[in-house]
Chain A
Amino acid sequence: MSTAIELRGLRRDYGERPALAGVDVSLEPGETLLVLGPNGAGKTTLLRVLATLLRPSGGEVRVFGATLPGEAWKVRGRIGLLGHDALLYRDLSGRENLRFHARLHGIERAAAEARIAALLSAVGMERRADDRVDELSAGMRQRLAICRCVLHEPDLLLLDEPDSHLDTPGRELARELIGPSEDRTRVVVTHDPERLLPEADQVLRLAVDGSAELTEAALR
């Protein structure tokens, strides 16, 4: 059985500045990696490399056995990214956005409608699903972004501060969709480690100079 994520000496530079200077991680399927660090430490960069959106500058990156960036096409459909941007078009409604993403992921129309209805219900957005995204609050957009992230039932969730903009009921609803489960591997970036530490199998601490320290959950 292959590991979900294997990083060996991952480096990513922006010009002369190293954002990631040698990250080593080995994560098994179903595990959760918590990524901590101050602003500018490369947390979002790490997620974007794993999401196949950024090329690594050096080192080795394997996701579900596929080497990135060369074999990125093999895993794109297995990744769900919840980042700072909701990746939703403001001029379309929430439902239209989800239909668009369902088509991009090759989900059949009937199956997509059923899945979208179930997800909207799960995050409490049924009544506002046909409103344009630019008419929704930040918290509602985040709920829709969570639906978009898990719409195609990804095996790997890359979550960048997933609770941002969510109220307490919203966090509880989101937990069903993006919380820990043996069916999904998770990499979670957070500035609120106290709440998420109990869910983590490993903790990666990134520093502003690009260095990284990995800790097993049992040792944290």
Chain B
Amino acid sequence: MTAGATRSATPVVPSRVAFAAILGKDLRAELRTLQSLPAMALFAVTTFVIFRFGLDRTQLSGDLASGVLWATLLFAAILGINRLFVAEREEGGFDAIRLAPIDRTALFAAKGAALLAYLVALELIVVPVFAVFFLDSAAALPPLALVLLLANLGLAATGTLISSMAVNSRARDLLTPLVLLPLAVPLSIAATGALEPLLAVGGPGYHRFGTWLAVLGLYDLIFLLVGYAVFDFLLED
């Protein structure tokens, strides 16, 4: 009797196992090659330097400070988003993952988590640099971390979704920002709205802070659900 004739369907591997495997692989490869994070950090720091001399200001506050910080982080994030699925595309990882008995949304979750980790690491490096360049106190940093965490979650969900679509295009470097930036407009409005009172002159304020956090949370929820719902179809031929 041959083995192939008698075995029944192979069990689906638990999503947490697949998630941990893919996330671990991505973080290991990034730690080894440093292909994304250093470029993102260097871009952000350079942009702060350009703003500092371009605006000819040693201090920023309110809407200008929140705009400079968020725009810089958003454009730096695009560098990482562009590279998120490159290894899967160029080294056959998509096929390997599609051949495995796993729920493919584990790939979405793992890539989103990897991007979230890159964004948090980026901010741990560049937000202190922003504070040194433009702020007169560090009092805003703790509540600012909460805003950035929620914004990162939304950006990770949207970025993962867009990156998985754009990676199969030859024009992915162009396609990612063209599709991502319009989708990130609500996120940008909410993030800068929440950051503005925190970076106000005279110390952090909390005017409509809760409202903007709720908008950020809603954005995160919508794009996490959209990603969960459609990601499987994006991997089909």
By a beta-carbon cutoff of 8 Å, the part of chain A in contact with chain B is: 1-2, 4, 29-30, 51-55, 64, 66, 73-79, 81, 83, 85-92, 96, 100-101, 103-106, 148, 155-156, 182-185
By the criterion CB–CB under 8 Å, are B4 and A76 in contact? no
By the criterion CB–CB under 8 Å, are B96 and A78 in contact? no
Pick the contact of B100: A85, A90, A105 (CB < 8 A): A105
By the criterion CB–CB under 8 Å, are A4 and B99 in contact? no
What's the nearest-Cβ distance from chain A to residue B96, in Å? 4
Using known A-B contacts A66-B9, A89-B29, determine if residue A81 contacts B99 with beta carbons closer than 8 Å: yes
The stretch of B17-25, B43-51, B70-78, B173-181 in contact with A is: B17-25
Contacts of A104 in B (CB 8 A): 13, 18, 21-22, 96-97, 100, 102
What's the nearest-Cβ distance from chain A to residue B128, in Å? 29
Contacts of A148 in B (CB 8 A): 96
Contacts of A53 in B (CB 8 A): 95, 98-99, 237
Q: Is B93 an interface residue (CB 8 A)?
A: yes
By a beta-carbon cutoff of 8 Å, the part of chain B in contact with chain A is: 2-5, 7, 9-14, 17-18, 20-22, 24-25, 28-29, 32-33, 87, 91-93, 95-102, 236-237
CB-based nearest A residue for B25: A100
By the criterion CB–CB under 8 Å, are B91 and A51 in contact? no
Pick the contact of B2: A29, A51, A75, A103 (CB < 8 A): A29
Contacts of B20 in A (CB 8 A): 103
Contacts of B29 in A (CB 8 A): 89, 91-92
What's the nearest-Cβ distance from chain A to residue B232, in Å? 11
Pick the contact of B17: A54, A88, A106 (CB < 8 A): A106
Contacts of B28 in A (CB 8 A): 92, 96
A86 to B95, CA, bound (A): 10
What's the nearest-Cβ distance from chain A to residue B18, in Å? 6
Using known A-B contacts A86-B92, A89-B91, A92-B25, determine if residue A29 contacts B99 with beta carbons closer than 8 Å: no
By the criterion CB–CB under 8 Å, are B91 and A103 in contact? no
